[in-house]
A and B are shown apart, each in its own frame.
Chain A
C-alpha cells in the first residue's frame, strides 16, 4: 500500500516525450519536470497559478501601502505600518478570538456528528439512498439564501423557532431572541453546524465504503466487539479521510462569510465578528484596503500554521511515507 514507481517512469522514450540531447541547465529542468509524475501535476499547477498569482501578489502589495478607497490610485508606501496597526487593534484580536471559538466549536461538533451519522448509515439499511440524500439536504441550500430564511425563522417576533422553543422548552432567550447579544455566536455556530455536518458525513461515509471487509472479518474472528472494532480498526483505517475532512472544514470555517453576513453582519456589536467579517468591514465599510490586506496576510499565515499542526497531528506519519 502506498507509493510505488509509476509504470514506465524509467524509460523516457516510452512516455513519448522528446529525448534529451545536450545536458544544459534548462534541459535538465525540463528533464525533471517533464517526467510523468510532474506532467500529471501540470494541469492543477497551471490553473492555480493562472488565477491566484496576480490577485495574491496584488493583495500582498496592497498590505504594504496605505490603500484606502479614496486614495486607491495614489496610495503611499507605508511599509509594515498596516501590520503594526492591525496587531495593535483590539478589534483585530477580538475577531481572531471569535474566529477561534467559532472554528473549534463548529468543527468539533460537525466531526462528531458526521462520524456518528456515517457509522450509522454504513449499516445494512433499507432506503439508504433516500436517507443519504436527505441527510445532505442542508448542504444543498446556498448559505446566503438559507441565511435569509433563518433571519425570518429565528426572529422572536415572527419566527417559528423561538416561538416553539418558548412554547415547548420554556426558554425565551432572555427576551433577546436567538440572535441577541448573548446567544448570537452560539446560534451562528449552530447554523454552521447544521449546514456543514453533511460535508463531514459525505467524506467520512465515502471513506468507510473503501474499507476492506476482510480486515473486519479477521478482527471479528478474534472476537472483537463493536467498540474495539471501531477504535482499533475502523478509525485508524479512516484516519486519512478524517484528517482531510477536519483539515478542510477548519480552513473553511475561518473563511465563512455569507451566512454570518446575512444573519448578523458581525453583530450584535462585535459578538459574531469573525476575522473574515472583520476583513470585509475593514475593506468596504471603513474603506481601508491596506489594513484589510495586511490582516488577510496574517490570516493566511495563521491558518497555515494551524493547518500544519493539524496535518502533523491527524495524518501522523502517513503523509511522509514514500516508497
Chain B
C-alpha cells in the first residue's frame, strides 16, 4: 500500500505542479498588437519606490497616445552589477532601460551595449533640456563625446551630525579626528555616544576609495595625470590615509570597519551610537523620516564635507557619481525607449520623482519649491555644494577594478595598521599602473 501511495503522491505533486505551471503561463499578460512594452529596471530602494508613481503616471497619461506601456522591475541590490552586466552582454533585448552606476558605464559602453543618446539629443534638444542638468552630473556618463545615460540620481557624501550634541560641525579633517576622539567613550568617559564616527570599509565596494577622495583632493592630490598614470603615492595621499588610520588606531570607529557600508553606517547614527558620519546625501530622506528614525529624526543635521584650511577658506571636494537611465543597445524598441527616457528625465516629471525620494540633478529641481517642501533647505544647499566643489573620478573601464579591489584592499590595510600609508599607496599605485598598462590605456 505504501509504495502505491508514494507513487501516487509523486504523480499527484507533478500533476498539481503542471497545473499551476499551466495556470501561471496563462496568467502572463497578452500583448496587444499595437502595444509596445518598455521594461524599466530600477533597483530595490528609495529610487525604485520613487519611480513607481511615475510609471503609473506614464501609463495613465502618455500610454494611450503613444501605445507604449511601461513596466518597472526592482531587483535587489545584491548582485545588481552582475545582473546588469549579464543582461547587457547577453544582448537579449531586455530590459529596455537600465539604471547603472556611472562607473560601470565605460566598460559596458565599450562593448557596445548602450545607446549613444547624443544623436537623439541633437535632434530634439527641447525634449532633453540638457543645460538644466548640473554639468558634472551629465559629464559622468559622457565617454569620449558619447552620452550614454542621463543622470537620474546624483550621489555625494556629505556630513551628518548630531546637532543636539555638536554645536559646530567639524570643518577640517583634523577637526574630524579631534571631534571623533571627543565623542568616543573609550577615550572620553563622559561622551554621550559610543563612538565618534564610522569608516566605510566594506570589501568589494568602491566606498572606501570614494570617501577617501574627499580627503585626498583637498590636500591637493590628483588620482591620475593626463597620461592615466596613477599619482596617489605622495604626501597628500599619506596625509589623507592617516586620517582613517588615526581614527582606527584611536578606537574612534566601530569595528570591524571592513563590514561597514551604507546600512550599518546609517544605523550607527540613527541608533545613537556615533556622533557624526560621512554618508551619502540620499540618506537625508530616511533620517528625517520619523517612522524610520523616531528617536533622532529632529536631532540630526547636515553640513558640508570637511576640507583643508587654506588661505582663510576651507578647500573642499565632493566625490560625485550618478546613477542614470541608459538604453540597452539590443532593445527591440530603441527609439521608444529613448522617448520614455527623455520623458522620465524631463523637469516636470523628474521633480515628482525627486519629491518621492529621488535626486535628479537638475538645477530647476534642486531649487524648486516642491522639493523644498519635503526637504527644506537641503536640495538647494546641495546644489550649491555640487556646483562649487563636485568632482568626478576618471572615466575609465578599469575604475571598478581600481576602486573595488585595489584601493579597497590597500586602504583597509593601511587603516588597520598592517601597512604604512606610503607603502600601501605605493603598492596600490603600482598595481593600478600595471592594470592600465596591460589594458593599453596609458599614454
Contacts and interface: CB of A to CB of B under 8 A. Distances in A.
A267 B261 CA distance: 13
B93 interface: no
A214 to B, nearest CB: 21
A158 B267 CA distance: 9
Interface of B: 78-79, 81-82, 85, 89, 106-108, 110-112, 194, 201-205, 251, 254-256, 258-259, 264, 267-268, 271, 273, 397-398, 400-401, 404-405, 409, 412-413, 416, 439
Contact of B85 (A158, A268, A284): A284
Interface in A27-50: none
A69 B256 contact: no
Interface-centre pick from B111, B202, B254, B259 (highest chain A CB count, 10 A): B259
Given A267-B204, A269-B412, A180 B112 contact: no
A70 B106 contact: yes
B203 A266 contact: yes
A269 B203 contact: yes
A156 B194 CA distance: 12
A157 B254 contact: yes
19 contacts: A70-B108, A155-B264, A157-B254, A175-B251, A261-B78, A262-B78, A265-B205, A267-B202, A267-B259, A267-B412, A268-B256, A268-B259, A269-B413, A280-B82, A281-B204, A281-B405, A284-B85, A285-B405, A286-B405
Given A68-B107, A70-B106, A71-B110, A269 B78 contact: no
Contact of A144 (B78, B201, B258, B413): B78
B107 to A, nearest CB: 4
A98 interface: no
A245 interface: no
B85 A264 contact: no
Nearest to A264: B203
A266 to B, nearest CB: 5
Contact of B397 (A281, A284, A287): A287
Given A70-B111, A284-B82, 19 more contacts: A68-B397, A69-B107, A72-B111, A155-B264, A156-B255, A158-B267, A177-B255, A177-B256, A179-B259, A180-B255, A180-B258, A181-B258, A262-B78, A267-B203, A267-B204, A269-B203, A281-B405, A285-B204, A287-B398
Contact of B409 (A72, A158, A269): A269
A44 to B, nearest CB: 17
A312 B143 CA distance: 57
Nearest to A180: B256
Given A181-B416, A281-B405, A286 B258 contact: no
Contacts of A15: none
**8 tightest Cβ-Cβ pairs between the two chains A and B:** A267-B203, A268-B258, A70-B110, A180-B256, A265-B204, A70-B107, A286-B401, A70-B397
Interface-centre pick from A70, A262, A266 (highest chain B CB count, 10 A): A70
A125 B97 CA distance: 59
A287 B202 CA distance: 19
Interface in A111-127: none
A157 B193 CA distance: 12
Contacts of A184: 256
Nearest to B409: A269
A15 B108 CA distance: 56
Nearest to B263: A151
A287 B400 contact: yes
Contact of A176 (B111, B256, B267, B401): B256
Contacts of A72: 89, 111
Given A181-B416, A265-B203, A269-B412, A285 B259 contact: no
Interface in A135-182: 144, 151, 155-158, 175-177, 179-181
Contacts of A155: 259, 264
Nearest to B91: A73
Contacts of B205: 265
B258 A267 contact: yes
Interface-centre pick from B201, B254, B258, B267 (highest chain A CB count, 10 A): B258
A270 interface: yes
A261 B202 CA distance: 11
A266 B259 CA distance: 10
Contacts of B271: 158
A188 to B, nearest CB: 12
Interface string A246-273: 0000000000000001101111111000
Nearest to A261: B78
Given A69-B89, A267-B202, A285 B400 contact: yes
Contacts of B397: 68-70, 287
Nearest to B402: A286
Contacts of A283: 82
B85 to A, nearest CB: 6
A175 B78 contact: no
A265 B106 CA distance: 24
B111 A264 contact: no
A285 B435 CA distance: 13
Nearest to A183: B256
